[in-house]
Amino acid sequence: MNQDYIKPDNWSIIEEGFYAERVKSSESLFSIGNGAMGQRANFEEHYSGDTFQGSYIAGVYYPDKTRVGWWKNGYPEYFAKVLNAPNWIGINVLINGQQLDLNTCKSVDDFKRELNMKEGWLSRTFKATLPNDVKIKVAVKRFLSLDLDEVGAINYEVTPLNTDAEIIFQPYIDASITNEDTNWDDKFWDATSVNYEGHQAFIEAKTMKTNFHTCTFMESKVCINNKAVFVDQNIENTANYVSFSYAYSVKKGDNYSIQKFGGYTVDRNHNANTLVKAAKHALKKATKKGFFQMLEDQKNAWLNIWEMADITIEGDVKAQQGIRFNIFQLNQTYLGKDSRLNIGPKGFTGEKYGGSTYWDTEAYCIPFYMATKDQKVARALLEYRYNHLEKAIENAEKLGFTNGAALYPMVTMNGEECHNEWEITFEEIHRNGAIAYAIFNYHRFTGDYSYIPEKGLEVLIAIARFWQQRATFSTDKNKYVILGVTGPNEYENNVNNNWYTNYLAKWCIDYAVENIDKIAAEYPEDFTRIINKVRLSDTEIQKWKAVASNMYFPYSEKHHVYLQQDGFIDKELITVENLPKSERPINQKWSWDRILRSPYIKQADTLQGFYFFEDKFTNEELERHFDFYEPFTVHESSLSPCVHSIQAAKLDRMEQAYTFYLRTSRLDLDDYNCEVHEGLHITSMAGTWMSIVEGFGGMRIKDGKLSFMPKIPKQWKGYSFKINFRNHIIKVNVTQEQTYFEMLCGEQLEILFNNKALVLESNVLKAVS
Amino acid sequence: MNQDYIKPDNWSIIEEGFYAERVKSSESLFSIGNGAMGQRANFEEHYSGDTFQGSYIAGVYYPDKTRVGWWKNGYPEYFAKVLNAPNWIGINVLINGQQLDLNTCKSVDDFKRELNMKEGWLSRTFKATLPNDVKIKVAVKRFLSLDLDEVGAINYEVTPLNTDAEIIFQPYIDASITNEDTNWDDKFWDATSVNYEGHQAFIEAKTMKTNFHTCTFMESKVCINNKAVFVDQNIENTANYVSFSYAYSVKKGDNYSIQKFGGYTVDRNHNANTLVKAAKHALKKATKKGFFQMLEDQKNAWLNIWEMADITIEGDVKAQQGIRFNIFQLNQTYLGKDSRLNIGPKGFTGEKYGGSTYWDTEAYCIPFYMATKDQKVARALLEYRYNHLEKAIENAEKLGFTNGAALYPMVTMNGEECHNEWEITFEEIHRNGAIAYAIFNYHRFTGDYSYIPEKGLEVLIAIARFWQQRATFSTDKNKYVILGVTGPNEYENNVNNNWYTNYLAKWCIDYAVENIDKIAAEYPEDFTRIINKVRLSDTEIQKWKAVASNMYFPYSEKHHVYLQQDGFIDKELITVENLPKSERPINQKWSWDRILRSPYIKQADTLQGFYFFEDKFTNEELERHFDFYEPFTVHESSLSPCVHSIQAAKLDRMEQAYTFYLRTSRLDLDDYNCEVHEGLHITSMAGTWMSIVEGFGGMRIKDGKLSFMPKIPKQWKGYSFKINFRNHIIKVNVTQEQTYFEMLCGEQLEILFNNKALVLESNVLKAVS
C-alpha cells in the first residue's frame, strides 16, 4: 500500500515523518522477534488510528472452525491460525490528563523510526503537540532479547518542552485481545489468573481448544533524568487486564522515563503450573541486568549472528539494505534452537498463512540455515518432519493410500493437515517431494550421511510409497501419469501431469531406491531395523521402479519444452508484457476461473524443477525453458523472483538477475505486491540469500566439493558472504575484478572455482579471477 | 438410512410400526406442501427423539456468511439458505399431567402413517401407553390447503382407553427456531410482535438481513366426540412464543379433539404492515369452512391436479407408487402460480441446496410443467430468468466479461449468485446453455414463438456473448477451446474442453443467430428494439460465428467416442461393476482428489448432450457412447438415472430402462443414496416423469408434431399418461399389445405414431400397434 518510503541505509530500516496511512505497513516492516516470540512494531502508547495489533508466541496457535458451506471428504477439521498473544508492550501516556495518541495530536514533528538490524533494536523519536497544547519530545527504544528469549525491554522517555506537566505512565498487560482475521469475533484466549505484586504483574491465559498455557508479565520502573525515582503507584485490573500508574510532576525540559520489561513464559518450556514462577525468574534476570546492560548483550548477540550470516554489498545501498533486512528477519523468526518449531511464511509479523509450516522450509529455508548456522539446525528441520511421519501416514490414509504411504500436510502446526482448499490440501502434493529433496540437499551439503540410515530413509520410503500409489497407468499413453494435481504454480489447479510433480515423483522413487541399496550394503543393521519396521519387500520396490522408469513427461515438440502440464499450449499464450498494468496483480483483479485458464504463472513451476535438478539439464535446455516460461510469469508469489534471479545469473543475464534480485530482496521494503501491511514474506527471504550465494556467487556442491562460479552485477563494486561448509568457514568476496576466498576456520580444503580446483588454507586470503 | 419400509400402495405412502431410527427419513417422505409453503412430517406433539424440524415458506431465504479461510475474487458475499420458518403445527398433549412423547412411551402400538397423495393429506394413528400407564388412542390428520394456500389444518384426536383422564391440548406457535445446517448456532429470525385474541395468536417475525416479514398464526377449537365444547383457556407467551391450553376431563372411551388452523402470511403477498390483518382474514375463511369442508376442497383440488397429471401403471404397484409420489411432490412444491418463485432441489422437505434455483429447472422440470399444466406455467419459468437477466450480466461482469454477456448463477434466490465453490460458481458454466435450451424447448413444445421476440432473444444474445468471450483460440489445435470448466458431471473439476459444454456453447450461438435472423425477417419492430437495446452489430455476430464454426470437440479415434473432456482416457478405466460395494457411494467414501482422478461419472454428462440433441446423432452413436460412459457412471446425482432410463428405452434395452426407472422413481422411497433423511430430491422427480413419457412413451416433438414410439417394460400390463399439447389434451394408454390415444380436449390433431401420421379426433379412442 505504501511503497518506497524507507530510507536507504546500510544497517538500518529508517522511516522519517509521521503518516497515518503508512502505520500498518511500518508495523510490518519494523517488526522485531527473537525466535521465541515476535511482534509487529505497534506503538506502546495508545493509538486510535488504523493499526494492526500483533504479538506472537512461537508454537502457539489455534484450530479455527472450517466447516462452512460445502464440505468434502478428507478435509481437516480445522485450519491453524497463528494467535495474536496478550499485549505486554502497552504504556498509556497521559500528559496533564491528556492521553498521548499520535492520531489526535495537533502536530507530530521530527518523527523517526529506526530498526537497527546490526544491534537488534527498534527506536522511535518524535515531538508532538497534544490537543492541550503541551509539547513533548518522546524517545522510545525496544528490543526482544536474544539471550533471555522470554523477555523484551522498553525504554520510554518523555520530555515536556514548553511547560511543566504532570505525566502519567500506565504500563499494562492485556489479555483481552483477538485476531484481525477472526471471522466471527471469536475469543481465543481464556485468562485464568491475574496477579500483581510490587511493580510486577502477571496474567495467566490459555488458548481455547489447544490449551496452550502462557503467562504474560511485566515489571516497570520510572526515572527522572535517568535516575530512579519512587512514585506512587495506582493499580487497575480486570479479569484479563492489569495496569499500573506512575504519575510525576515533570519540569519543563526534564526527562521522565519508564523502563518496562515484559514477555511470556509458556508451557512448551515450563510446567503449566509454574509459569508465574518462571516469569518472576525471567524478570529477576532481566532487571538485575537492567535495560542498558541487556541492550549491550543484545548488540553482542546480533554481532555473533552477523559475524557468520552477513552479506555485504558495496556500491548499492538499496541492495545492501535489502539483503540485510532479509537475513535479519530470518534470524528474528527462527534460530534453530527448538526442533518443535519451524518457519512460518509470515514469521511473527502477521496472521496470514497461520504461522504454519509449508514446503517453503524445505525448498527455500534449509539452504540458508545450512550455510549460516551449525548443521544441527538444518538437521533439526529435517527431524521436525521425521517426527511428523506417523501423522503424514495418517493423512495419506484419509485420502485412501495404504501400506505406510505418507503425504505430508500442505500446512501444519503439529503434523496434521490444517488447510482446506481441496485443490491445495489434496492436490498440491509436490510438497512431499520437497521433503525428500531436503534430505538429499542436507546430505549433499553437509556430507552427514548418518541422518539417512537413522531417520531419513523411513521418510524416503513412505514418500516413495505415496508416489507409486498416486501414479496411475494410462493405457492410452502406455505410461504412468499423475492426474489431478496442483503444481508450485497455484494459478493452475487440478491439472494432469504437472511436469514438476511427475519429475519429482520419479526422482523421489529413484532416490529412495538408491538409499535403500546403499544402506543395505553399508548399514546392514539399520537396514534390517528399517525394513522390518516398514515391511518393505522387493516386490514392492519393483512396483516403485515400474512407475519411476515409465513416467510420462508432457513435452511440446513444437516449442521444444517440457510442458508445465497437459494442455498448457492450448491456452491463449499472451505474455505478461502484453497484459495491461491495470489488470495486475491478477490475483487481486481477476476471478479465479480467469486466472486458471490464463497462461500466467504465479511462481517458478517447471523452472523450479530446473532449479532443483539443474545438473540433469544443459544450459541450452534451461535457457529454452526460461525463455518459454518466464514471459508468462507474474511473480505474484514471494517465492518466485529468487529462483528466476539464480537462473538468470546462471544464463549470464546479469541485468535480469539484478532486477529479480531487487525484487526478491526488497519485496517487502518496496512492497512490490501491495500487501506488506499484512506482514512480511519471511520464507522467501531465504530465497534472497540463495539469489546472492547461489545466483551471483554460483555456489554449488559438485561431487562433494564446494564450488563457485562468481558473477557480479555491474551496479555493484563488490559483495561478500560467508559459508559454513562442513565446519569450514569460508569468506567469499567478489569484486568486479577478482574473487577473494578466505578460510576463517577449518583445515585445508579443496574447492572449485569456475570448475577448477582451488585449495584453501586456514586464514590465507586467495585472490583468483 | 432407512430403506424399503414404505408399503407398496397405488395411492398412498404408508408406514406401519413406530421405529425411532426411521423418524427423520419419514419426516422427509411424508412431507406436505402447497406451493406456497411446505413442511416435513414432524409430529405435532412433543418428540424428544432424533428429529429434523422443518417448515418452509416459499421465497423466504437467508444469506449466510461464506467468508471463512481462503477467499477468491468474484465469490459472492453470501450463500442462500432456505430458512426453517416458525413452527405453527405444534400441539403439546398432556395426559394427567404427563407429556405425550413417542420417545418416552412405554409402548407404541398400531402406529401407522399415511400420506394420501390422491387427496393431499397426511395422517397418523397409534395407540400409546404413557409412562403414567394411561393408554390412549391418537388419530391426527393434517394438510396444507391448496385453495387457501396460506393456511394448513390439523385435526388431532385423543381417546383415553383404560381410564378417565385430564387431557390438555396446548397448541402453540413458536418463532424461536433455527436451522439444522446452521454453522455457528446463528439466529435467523427476529420476532417483532406477539399478539393473541380469543383463540387466535399471531407472531410477526422478520428474517435477519433479508427482512422478509412474516406473520405466523393459529386458531384452535376443541371438541368432545366431535361436538365443540367450551374449555377454559390458559395463555403462555414469551417474545417469540404463544401457547394456549385447553384442559378437559375426558371419560374413558371419549374422543377429545382439537382442530388447529395455522400458517403464514408474508410480505411477498401483502403489505408488511398488514400481515396480522391478512392472517385474520385467512383464518376467517378457513374457520368459516371448517376442517372437514376444507378437507373436501383439498380432495377436489388434488383431483383436478391428478386429472391432468396422473400417470397410471398397471401390474406394478411399486412402479405406480413411485411415479405418483414424484408427481405429487412436484405439485406440492411448485404450481406455477407465482413467477417470482421457482423449484428448489429439495422443495420444502429439507435445508440442503438452500431451496434455490438450479439449472435443474430448465433441464428437467420445464418439460413436466409444459405437458401437465397450462403453458403459462412454463412461460413463467422462462420469465423468471428473463427477469434475472440484468443480474446475470452483472454476474458475468464480476468475472471479467463485458458487452452485456450474461452468466446465469449456478444457484440463486433473486438472480444473484449465491454459491461459492469456485469449481462450481465460476466453472460449471454449462448452466447458461440449459437456460437457452429451455427457450428452444418451450418453443418446440408449445409452438408459442412470441416469447422469443418479446423476451427470449435478449437472453439468447447475452448467452451467446458469454460463450464467444469464454472460448479462447488454441493455436496448437487451430480451434476454439473452452478451458477450465466443470461439466454436469461434478466429479470432474476445472477440465478443458468438456464435450457437453463445448457442444452446448456452439449450439447456443447457432440458435441465437438463427433467431436473430428470423426475428429480423419476421418481427422487424422487435428486432429494432432489441438490437438498439443490446447494441448488437454484424461484426460481433461474425465473431460469434467464428467461434461456433470452429469449436473443438475432443474425440477418441481409438474408442470412437467424443471424450467427456481432454484427457479422459488417461484415467484408470475400471468400470463401476469392478468397484467394491464398500467403496460406494464414492462421494461418502473417497476424498475429493480420488474422485476427481477416477473415471467415475456422477450423472449424465456426454450423454446429457445426447439427450438434449438426440436428433443430431444416430442410434449407433448413442449406443456407442452409452456403452462407453454408462459403465463408469455411479448415478450419485438424483438427476442421473432418468436420462439413462430414457436412452436405454430408446436403445430397446427395456430391462435396463426399467431398472433405471425404478431407481429414479423410487430414489427417495427406497433411499438409494442413503440420504433421504435430509429431504427429497424434488427436481429429479420431473426426470422420472420424463423417463415414462419420453422414455417408455417415446414422446418427442418432430417438426412441430407430437410423436410417440411407445414401448413397455415386460413387468407392466399397461401405463397411461396425459399430455397437454398446444391446448389439446391427449391421453396415451400403452399396453403390451396396443397403444390407445384419446383426445380429451381440442380439435383434430395429426400426431406421429412410430413415425407414421395418425389423426386424432376429439373424444375418439384410437387403438394402434
Judge: A184–B472 Cβ closer than 8 Å, yes or no.
no
A254, A281, A309 - which closes a domain? A309
The DSSP 8-state label assigned to residue A83 in this structure reads P
Supply B155's cell numbers: 385435526
- Confidence band for B71, pLDDT divided at 50, 70 and 90: low
Residue A472 in contact with partner chain B when CB distance is under 8 A? yes
Alpha carbon of B179: minimum distance to chain A alpha carbons (Å):
13
Judge: A569–B474 Cβ closer than 8 Å, yes or no.
yes
**What's the pLDDT score for residue A66?**
56
Residue contacts between A and B (CB atoms, under 8 Å): 140
- Confidence band for B111, pLDDT divided at 50, 70 and 90: very high
Mean pLDDT of A731-754: 97
On chain A, the residues whose CB falls within 8 A of the CB of B566 are 566-567, 570
Judge: A597–B472 Cβ closer than 8 Å, yes or no.
yes
B737 an active-site residue? no
Listed range (A190-204, A363-377, A606-620, B72-86) with the worst mean pLDDT: B72-86
B281, B307, B333 - which closes a domain? B307
| pLDDT, tens only, A30-57 | 999 999 999 999 999 999 999 999 999 9
Residue B394 in contact with partner chain A when CB distance is under 8 A? no
| pLDDT, tens only, A8-19 | 999 999 999 999
B519-557: b (≥16 Cβ within 10 Å) or e: beeebeebbeebbeebebeeebbebbeebbeebbebeee
Asked if residue A245 is part of any domain, the answer here is: yes
**What's the pLDDT score for residue A1?**
41
- Give me the residue from A70, A73, A494 closest to B494, CB to CB: A494
Q: Is the pLDDT of residue B211 over 70?
A: yes
Residue B560 in contact with partner chain A when CB distance is under 8 A? no
Annotated binding site of A for substrate: 359-360, 602-603
Q: Is the pLDDT of residue A720 over 90?
A: yes
On chain B, the residues whose CB falls within 8 A of the CB of A65 are 68, 183-184
Average pLDDT value for chain B = 95
In chain B, count of helices (H) and strands (E)?
21, 33
Asked if residue A718 is part of any domain, the answer here is: no
Judge: A420–B67 Cβ closer than 8 Å, yes or no.
no
On chain B, the residues whose CB falls within 8 A of the CB of A484 are 593, 596-597
**What's the pLDDT score for residue B68?**
45
On chain B, the residues whose CB falls within 8 A of the CB of A494 are 423, 493-495, 596
Instruction: Please report which helix (H) or strand (E) contains residue A506, including its range.
Output: helix A499-522
Supply B194's cell numbers: 406477539
Question: Looking at per-residue confidence, does A305 or B587 come out higher?
Answer: A305
Q: Is the ipTM of this complex over 0.95?
A: no
**What's the pLDDT score for residue B69?**
47
Burial class (CB in 10 A: 0-12, 13-18, 19+), B69: middle
- Give me the residue from A65, A183, A495 closest to B67, CB to CB: A183
Percentage of chain A lying above the pLDDT 70 cut: 97
On chain B, the residues whose CB falls within 8 A of the CB of A79 are 69
Whole-Å CA distances, B439 to A10, A628, B458, B617, B680: 70, 46, 11, 21, 27
Asked if residue A754 is part of any domain, the answer here is: no
Q: Is the pLDDT of residue B374 over 80?
A: yes
Supply A642's cell numbers: 529468487
User: Which residue matches cell numbers 509436490?
Assistant: A430
- Give me the residue from B68, B484, B558 closest to A593, CB to CB: B484
On chain B, the residues whose CB falls within 8 A of the CB of A571 are 472, 474, 483
Shared-domain flag, residues A380 and A300 = no
CATH code, domain with A532: 1.50.10.10
| pLDDT, tens only, A354-373 | 678 999 999 999 999 999 99
- Give me the residue from A68, A569, A591 closest to B398, CB to CB: A591
Our count of domains for chain A comes to: 2
Q: Is the pLDDT of residue A67 over 50?
A: no
In angstroms, rounded to a whole number, what is the distance separating the alpha carbons of residues A485 and B594?
11
Name residue B742's amino acid. Answer: E
Residue B483 in contact with partner chain A when CB distance is under 8 A? yes
Listed range (A197-211, A695-709, B77-91) with the worst mean pLDDT: B77-91
Shared-domain flag, residues A416 and A548 = yes
For residue B764, what are the contacts with CB-CB under 8 A and spacing of at least 6? Answer: B742, B743
**What's the pLDDT score for residue B180?**
80
CATH code, domain with A134: 2.70.98.40
Judge: A496–B590 Cβ closer than 8 Å, yes or no.
no
Q: Which residue of B has its CA nearest to A566?
A: B567
In angstroms, rounded to a whole number, what is the distance separating the alpha carbons of residues A76 and B113?
41
On chain A, the residues whose CB falls within 8 A of the CB of B420 are 69
- E-assigned strands of A651-760? 700-702, 705-708, 718-725, 728-735, 739-745, 749-753, 756-760
**What's the pLDDT score for residue B231?**
87
**What's the pLDDT score for residue A68?**
45
In angstroms, rounded to a whole number, what is the distance separating the alpha carbons of residues B336 and B149?
13
- A-contacting residues in B 165-184 (Cβ below 8 Å): 183-184
| pLDDT, tens only, A466-521 | 999 999 999 999 999 999 999 999 999 999 999 999 999 999 999 999 999 999 99
On chain A, the residues whose CB falls within 8 A of the CB of B588 are 73
Asked if residue A165 is part of any domain, the answer here is: yes
Answer yes or no: are the C-beta atoms of A14 and A113 closer than 8 Å: yes
The DSSP 8-state label assigned to residue B588 in this structure reads H
Judge: A475–B573 Cβ closer than 8 Å, yes or no.
yes
Q: Which residue of A has its CA nearest to B473?
A: A572
Residue A496 in contact with partner chain B when CB distance is under 8 A? yes
| pLDDT, tens only, B133-185 | 999 999 999 999 999 999 999 999 999 999 999 999 999 999 998 888 766 56
Residue A557 in contact with partner chain B when CB distance is under 8 A? no
Give the distance from CA A117 to its chain's centroid: 16
- B-contacting residues in A 286-345 (Cβ below 8 Å): none
Residue B567 in contact with partner chain A when CB distance is under 8 A? yes
**What's the pLDDT score for residue B352?**
81
- Confidence band for B208, pLDDT divided at 50, 70 and 90: confident
Asked if residue B259 is part of any domain, the answer here is: yes
Residue B705 in contact with partner chain A when CB distance is under 8 A? no
Burial class (CB in 10 A: 0-12, 13-18, 19+), B479: middle
In angstroms, rounded to a whole number, what is the distance separating the alpha carbons of residues B332 and B679?
14
Q: Give the residue among B585, B622, B621, B611 at the shortest CA–CA distance from B600.
A: B585
In angstroms, rounded to a whole number, what is the distance separating the alpha carbons of residues B646 and B81?
33
Q: Is the pLDDT of residue B762 over 60?
A: yes
- Give me the residue from B72, B183, B570 closest to A474, CB to CB: B570
Judge: B570–A400 Cβ closer than 8 Å, yes or no.
no
Global pTM value: 0.92
Mean pLDDT of B310-319: 97
Mean pLDDT of A276-288: 98
Asked if residue B602 is part of any domain, the answer here is: no
- Confidence band for A337, pLDDT divided at 50, 70 and 90: confident
Whole-Å CA distances, B628 to A234, B560, B573, B658: 83, 9, 10, 20
Answer yes or no: are the C-beta atoms of A630 and A607 closer than 8 Å: yes
Burial class (CB in 10 A: 0-12, 13-18, 19+), B502: buried
What positions of A carry a catalytic annotation?
490
Shared-domain flag, residues A406 and A541 = yes
| pLDDT, tens only, B630-677 | 999 999 999 999 999 999 999 999 999 999 999 999 999 999 888 899
Residues of the domain holding B747: 697-769
| pLDDT, tens only, B121-130 | 999 999 999 9
Mean pLDDT of B228-239: 90
Burial class (CB in 10 A: 0-12, 13-18, 19+), B254: middle
A536, A562, A588 - which closes a domain? A562
Judge: B399–A426 Cβ closer than 8 Å, yes or no.
no
Asked if residue B59 is part of any domain, the answer here is: yes
Mean pLDDT of B729-750: 97
- Confidence band for A65, pLDDT divided at 50, 70 and 90: low
Considering Cα of A464, then A468, then A470, then A471, what sign does the dihedral take? positive
Residue B725 in contact with partner chain A when CB distance is under 8 A? no
Which residues are registered as beta bridge partners of A613? Answer: none
Mean pLDDT of B562-585: 96
**What's the pLDDT score for residue B183?**
60
| pLDDT, tens only, B317-358 | 999 999 999 999 999 999 988 888 999 999 999 988 767 899
Asked if residue B425 is part of any domain, the answer here is: no
**What's the pLDDT score for residue A348?**
94
Q: Is the pLDDT of residue B67 over 50?
A: no
In angstroms, rounded to a whole number, what is the distance separating the alpha carbons of residues A565 and A575?
18
- B-contacting residues in A 576-635 (Cβ below 8 Å): 587-594, 596-597
On chain B, the residues whose CB falls within 8 A of the CB of A592 are 72-74, 422, 426
- Give me the residue from A493, A558, A571 closest to B483, CB to CB: A571
Answer yes or no: are the C-beta atoms of B259 and B221 closer than 8 Å: yes
Supply A250's cell numbers: 515533570
For residue A150, what are the contacts with CB-CB under 8 A and spacing of at least 6? Answer: A36, A37, A263, A264, A265, A269, A278, A279, A282
Best residue of A187, A468, A496, A593 to probe chain B, by most B CBs closer than 10 Å:
A593
Shared-domain flag, residues A438 and A522 = yes
- Give me the residue from B476, B567, B593 closest to A399, CB to CB: B593
**What's the pLDDT score for residue A82?**
84
